[in-house]
């Protein structure tokens, strides 16, 4: 296959570039480097099946030659990032998706949308199956991401139904691993960074809110299997191992051997308005349809993420 990966220099995008190259495919990575980084793909520069194009997908998109798949992974994904770039986040999820779908249609390629568990908002159902419609505040600070992704899903389904476009929608739950920016503001890199530098681990509120963390290689496997399947309806990909944020802070202290204290604080800004109180994927569909389930234990994955952070701090 010859595939375009938007957001190809980002955390997940760059791991996808690696995987598609290993599988023998040709990869064009596109990124405007707002939250992505050349550091994530520098090892691929010069590879004969890899090309990098610096471009913002909210602008007209064109790629020469044939394409078999367009994987649209471009978007700020950390609450800090989408609060800092609210308009970009809305544009990349709407105009960027439209451009990426248009390109897929023009090339007769499969369009693969990176959607998110954020489409479920602050869920009133736990775990969240794909059939749950969500509980989202459209005008809250997280609305720029949640609603852009919901719009992107709606557009993907419309192109599928109206034009018969071959499409996929993955709903990605909290994912971590090497190449997440140490300062990206999400809880995994934050706690690891704080633990390694002897700073207090900043638990927002009482820490009773829950998340379920999946290692990046499991996500990449899920993407690959979903692309090869013919499934056009959304599929959750995440690890159902749910824990409170306070428990997660204790896990990080244990794995890093850090003497940092745990500090309960009010989040630094409005980022935590509408912070989901629970999140856990129902992965029944992925298991049945894709024969996929997460393989990497939290401790094993975190060891790798911690080693990455250590290397960046040297």
Annotated catalytic residues are: 145
Alpha-carbon torsion (73, 86, 248, 244), positive or negative: negative
Task: Provide long-range contacts, Cβ within 8 A and 24+ apart, for 163-167.
Answer: 163/105, 165/101, 165/104, 165/105, 165/111, 166/109, 166/110, 166/111, 166/230, 166/232, 167/110, 167/111, 167/112, 167/113, 167/232
User: Least CB distance from residue 173 to ligand UDP, whole Å?
Assistant: 8
- Give the HSE-up count for residue 142: Cα atoms under 13 Å, Cβ half-sphere: 21
**Could you give phi then psi for residue 64, rounded to 5 degrees?**
-75, 150
User: Least CB distance from residue 38 to ligand UDP, whole Å?
Assistant: 24
Distance CA(81)–CA(10), nearest Å, equals 13
Residue number with CB closer to ligand UDP (189 or 234): 189
Residue number with CB closer to ligand UDP (91 or 186): 186
- CA-based end-to-end distance of the chain: 39
**Could you give phi then psi for residue 309, rounded to 5 degrees?**
-60, -40
User: Least CB distance from residue 276 to ligand UDP, whole Å?
Assistant: 6
User: Least CB distance from residue 202 to ligand UDP, whole Å?
Assistant: 4
User: Least CB distance from residue 227 to ligand UDP, whole Å?
Assistant: 24
Residue number with CB closer to ligand UDP (124 or 233): 124
CB 145 within 8 A of CB 193: no
Residue number with CB closer to ligand UDP (199 or 232): 199
Residue number with CB closer to ligand UDP (204 or 224): 204
- Using alpha carbons, select from 215, 211, 214 the residue that is nearest to residue 242: 211
Q: Where does this chain bind ligand UDP (CB under 6 A)?
A: 79, 174, 185-187, 190, 202-204, 209, 211, 245, 272, 275
User: Least CB distance from residue 233 to ligand UDP, whole Å?
Assistant: 23
Distance CA(138)–CA(271), nearest Å, equals 15
Residue number with CB closer to ligand UDP (72 or 149): 149
Q: Which residues contact 159 (CB under 8 A, 6 or more apart)?
A: 101, 105, 111, 165, 167
- CA dist list (Å): 289 to 60, 97, 292: 35, 26, 8
Distance CA(73)–CA(286), nearest Å, equals 20
């Amino acid at each position: 296959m010859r595939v375009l990966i938007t957001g190809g220099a980002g955390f997940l995008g760059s791991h996808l570039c690696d995987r598609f190259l290993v599988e023998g495919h040709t990869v064009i990575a596109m990124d405007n480097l707002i939250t992505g980084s050349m550091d994530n793909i520098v090892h691929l520069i010069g590879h004969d099946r890899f090309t990098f194009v610096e471009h913002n997908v909210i602008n007209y998109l064109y790629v020469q030659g044939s394409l078999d798949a367009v994987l649209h992974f471009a978007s700020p994904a950390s609450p800090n990032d989408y609060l800092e770039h609210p308009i970009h986040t809305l544009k990349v999820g709407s105009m960027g998706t439209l451009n990426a779908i248009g390109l897929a249609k023009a090339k007769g390629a499969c369009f693969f949308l990176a959607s998110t568990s954020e489409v479920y908002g602050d869920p009133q159902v736990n775990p969240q199956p794909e059939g749950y419609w969500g509980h989202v505040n459209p005008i809250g600070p997280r609305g720029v991401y949640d609603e852009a992704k919901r719009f992107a899903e709606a557009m993907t389904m419309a192109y599928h139904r109206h034009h018969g476009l071959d499409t996929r929608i993955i709903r990605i739950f909290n994912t971590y691993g090497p190449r997440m920016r140490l300062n990206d503001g999400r809880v995994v890199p934050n706690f690891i960074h704080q633990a390694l530098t002897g700073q207090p681990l900043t638990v927002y509120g009482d820490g009773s809110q829950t998340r379920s963390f999946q290692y990046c290689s499991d996500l990449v496997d899920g993407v690959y299997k979903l692309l090869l399947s013919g499934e056009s309806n959304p599929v959750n990909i995440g690890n159902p191992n749910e824990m409170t944020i306070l428990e997660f802070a204790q896990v990080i202290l244990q794995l890093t051997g850090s003497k940092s204290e745990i500090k309960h604080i009010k989040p630094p800004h409005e980022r935590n308005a509408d912070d989901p109180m629970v999140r856990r994927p129902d992965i029944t569909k992925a298991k049945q349809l894709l024969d996929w389930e997460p393989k990497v234990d939290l401790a094993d994955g975190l060891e790798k993420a911690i080693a990455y952070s250590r290397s960046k701090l040297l």
